[in-house]
């Protein structure tokens, strides 16, 4: 198990540091960082395919980041490497607990409904 040095920011609800995500040889996220405090409104802007949705999916661990650090409400998400060197969350219960405190709205949500 890899236990990163604590990097949490007590004033921030979400801290993402140096997040990378690759799909095979395609590097989608290249060292993305973010700090958000309670009440912040943040927009992610970029062209189609630039990694916005992948970034959000990594924060919620719907996608597993290749590397990087994520802290939600001052709790670092602990990652581990499997025998093939692939990263994955070390504690499924931690992921469930953190997901219960996060919310995401995907683009085109509720689109076309009256």
Q: Where along the chain do its domains lie?
A: 14-99
What was the pLDDT predicted at 4? Answer: 43
Is the predicted pLDDT of residue 7 greater than 80, yes or no?
no
User: Of 1, 9, 4, 2, which is closest to residue 69 (Cα–Cα)?
Assistant: 4
Give the N- to C-terminal CA distance of the chain in Å, as an integer: 49
Is the predicted pLDDT of residue 58 greater than 60, yes or no?
yes
* Residue indicated by tokens 């995500």: 21
Query: Residues near 25 by Cβ (< 8 Å), separated by ≥ 6?
Result: none
Instruction: Give whichever of 2-6, 40-44, 76-80 has the largest mean pLDDT.
Output: 76-80
Considering the chain, what is the average pLDDT of its residues? 84
Task: Please give the share of the chain, as a percent, with pLDDT higher than 70.
Answer: 82
What was the pLDDT predicted at 3? Answer: 41
Is the predicted pLDDT of residue 1 greater than 60, yes or no?
no
Percent helix, strand, coil in the chain, to 5, is 15, 30, 55
CATH fold of 14-99 reads Rossmann fold (3.40.50)
Q: What is the DSSP letter of 87?
A: E
Please tell me the pTM assigned to this model.
Answer: 0.79
Q: What is the DSSP letter of 45?
A: -
């Amino acid at each position: 198990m890899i236990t990163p040095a604590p990097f949490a920011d007590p004033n921030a609800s979400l801290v993402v540091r140096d997040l990378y995500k690759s799909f095979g040889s395609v590097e989608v996220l290249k060292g993305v960082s973010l700090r958000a405090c309670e009440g912040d409104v943040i927009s992610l802007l970029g062209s189609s395919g630039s990694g916005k949705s992948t970034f959000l999916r990594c924060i919620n661990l719907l996608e597993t980041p290749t590397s990087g650090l994520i802290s939600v409400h001052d709790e670092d998400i602990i990652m581990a490497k499997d025998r093939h060197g692939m990263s994955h969350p070390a504690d499924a219960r931690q992921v469930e607990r953190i997901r219960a405190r996060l919310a995401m709205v995907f683009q085109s949500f509720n689109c076309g409904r009256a």
